[in-house]
Amino acid sequence: MQRRQFLASVGGLASGLLLSGCRGRQTAHVLKDKDEDMVGSHSAGAETWEPLIAETVGKLLGRQSVVLQTAAMEGLPAGKKKICFLGVENKSAEELGDFKEQIYQKIDTCITESDVFVPITRRWVESGLKQCGLRPDDLMVPNNQRTFAAIMEKLEQPFEYLLYATVTSGTTRSNNKDYQRDYLLTLELVNIQTGTSEKESEELRKGYHKSRLGKLKHYGV
């Protein structure tokens, strides 16, 4: 009897360890185009940045296309605008991590493939800033703009516009520790000849909950 109890105990322990090992093993799979993005439980992820990029860049390109078409109809010069994309600035409550580079690359790819802009290669931009000893924010000062523009012309990379991307957020908290975070992606296009700027923004709201009951309480789903 004792031997049978011992064997049963050992068998139960082995089964428990096996199941525990299976549960603890990480797995992965490749998402197909029709699969939805995974929703980040603690911070913004692909489900947030992908639509923000698509909408914001789409608005910017749409508006500039209309400007070019209007100029062409009025007999004015209507070539592609040469722009200097200065990167993504994060002013949100979250660290962007590797998404910061992703956001930059996706925006840069969209404007490169457009019929509106001719962007300067990032390596030239970084080289010009380094030679001037300036940061992207410094270029909002007219004297710094002129210095940077002169360096870029020497590098045979003249431009007419600066493009900034900024990520911001606003957080609303409830008493039960659930909260809503509103993410805003803004693109600002600055004309270095006139000093005027144009902005396009897109917002996405996301709720974070300590449990499924929190989500059910606030949204009924």
Per residue in 45-96, pLDDT (tens digit) is 677 888 899 999 999 988 888 876 776 666 555 678 899 999 999 999 989 8
Whole-number pLDDT of residue 179: 85
Fold of 46-120+159-219: Rossmann fold (3.40.50)
First to last CA, the chain: 53
Element housing 170 (H / E)? strand 161-173
Dig out the tokens for 44 from the structure.
């913004």
* Residues 158-182: tens digit of each pLDDT: 999 999 999 999 988 887 788 888 9
Listed in sequence order, the residues at least 6 apart from 202 whose beta carbon sits closer than 8 Å to its beta carbon are 51, 52, 55, 56, 59, 184, 185
Task: Indicate if the pLDDT at residue 214 is higher than 90.
Answer: no
The rounded Cα 6 to chain-centroid distance in angstroms is 59
Whole-number pLDDT of residue 10: 47
